[in-house]
Structures are given as C-alpha cells and as structure tokens.
Amino acid sequence: MSNCLSNLFKSNGVQPGKAIDAIVYCIQQRKDSVGACSYDFLPPSYLTALTEEYTAFLSTPSKGDYKFPDHLTLPQPNRPEVGDWLSCLYCPYLIDGSHWVGVAFDLQACSISVLDCNIACVTNEEVQGYLKPIAQMLPYMLRQSVGDEVWSSKPMHPFHIYRLDVELLAEFPGLSAVASLILVELHATKILSHNGEIEA
C-alpha cells in the first residue's frame, strides 16, 4: 500500500483507485471517531462496481423489479446502517479515466453535486453522460437497501446532476485525486458551501 500512496502527490500521472480507496478508508475511520454524523463516505471502487451493473439494470423491463447484488447495496461492510439520519454520501470518482472529481449524493434532495477542481477538463455534457448510469440506478438501489417504507416518499426518477463552481483550482491533472479528497471533506463538513464557496 505504501507504494500506491508514494506517488499520490506526483502531478504527472493518474492516481490509482486502489490508493484513493485506502485514503477513503482512513477518512471513514476519522469520521467514525467523532461520533454520529449526517453523512458518510464511499470508496471509488464502489461507484466503479455500481457503474458496471448498468447494462444489466438497463436490460430489465421493470426497473422496480431489478435486484442489485449484495455487494452494491447499503450499508457497505463496516459502515453504519442507512436510515433517516443519513443525508449525504460522498465519493471520489475517476470520471473519464484521467480526471478525479468529488461526488456528493444528496439523499434528501435526490441530487448529485459534482465537486470539480478544474471544470475545463471535462465538459458539463460529459459529466452528465458519465454520471447518468449512477443517477438512474440510485433510487432503485437505495429503495432496495433501506426498504419501501423508508424510501416510499422519494421519487423514483433519476437523481438530478449539478456541477458546482468551486473555489479551488488544480491545474495539473495528476493532482485532481488529492483535490477530490479535499473537496468531499470540505463539503461534508460545510466548509465548502452549496454554491461552491470555501468558508474561512
């Protein structure tokens, strides 16, 4: 693992998902140590696995009957149970094979906020395209995870996708992974506001 992390701050290459998974695990442990919070973090490998399920999901005529495999439902191993207390899930995501962004899943508003350190790297249309499979599957995966009674008041349409214009710029592509990790924690702790401003 030390080999994965040793290149984390090098700006000339794409950071591997395995290293980001390891850092998210550390973020989870730090978050758990401070007690109950209204948010949680997921590793990027989770979103990768969820995206790989899209073809099977799309081929199912009745989406409400689709059963996600156990490794894609919540809670994930060693994570708290999912309930009304949980308002947001955060995850770094390698959006196009070379550019990392932070993703915030607002479970109350049924929306996805993209926390991007350099909006010139990927167009808004590309962002929408990359996240569309996840946005479509989330309502059904969450309903399967928490049950119909908890999710009954939520709409079953795809989550809306927004990209925030954040006050952070990482011009070197290799640093986008580090930036995405910073941004998800800043947003979760409300230091990064919902309009993208970083509060002092």
Q: What is the pLDDT along the chain (200 residues), one digit of tens a residue?
A: 555 556 666 657 788 888 899 999 999 999 999 877 899 999 999 999 999 999 999 999 999 899 999 999 999 998 988 877 789 999 999 998 889 999 999 999 999 999 999 999 999 999 999 999 999 999 999 999 988 777 777 888 999 999 988 878 887 777 899 999 999 999 998 877 655 555 54
Pairing status of strand 160-165 against strand 88-94: unpaired
Q: Which secondary-structure segment (H or E) carries 114?
A: strand 111-116
In this prediction, residue 116 carries a pLDDT of 94
Going from N- to C-terminal start, the domains of the chain cover 2-188
Question: Which runs of consecutive H residues, i.e. helices, occur in 104-156?
Answer: 124-146, 148-151
In this prediction, residue 16 carries a pLDDT of 85
pTM for the structure as a whole = 0.90
In this prediction, residue 14 carries a pLDDT of 81
Q: What span, in angstroms and rounded, lies between the C-alpha atoms of 24 and 83?
A: 21
Q: Which secondary-structure segment (H or E) carries 26?
A: helix 17-33
> How far does Cα 170 stand from its chain's mean position?
19
Work out the number of other CB atoms within 10 angstroms of the CB of residue 38.
12
In this prediction, residue 70 carries a pLDDT of 95
Does a cis peptide bond (omega within 30 degrees of 0) precede residue 69? Answer: no
Name 41's bridge partners. Answer: 90
In this prediction, residue 193 carries a pLDDT of 63
Domain 2-188 listed as CATH 3.30.310.130: yes
Structure token pair of residue 56: 């099977």
Pairing status of strand 100-106 against strand 88-94: antiparallel
In this prediction, residue 200 carries a pLDDT of 45
152: left (phi over 0), alpha (psi -120 to 50) or beta: alpha
Residue with tokens 């490998």: 45
| Contact in structure between 24 and 41 (CB atoms under 8 Å) | yes
In this prediction, residue 6 carries a pLDDT of 60
In this prediction, residue 67 carries a pLDDT of 96
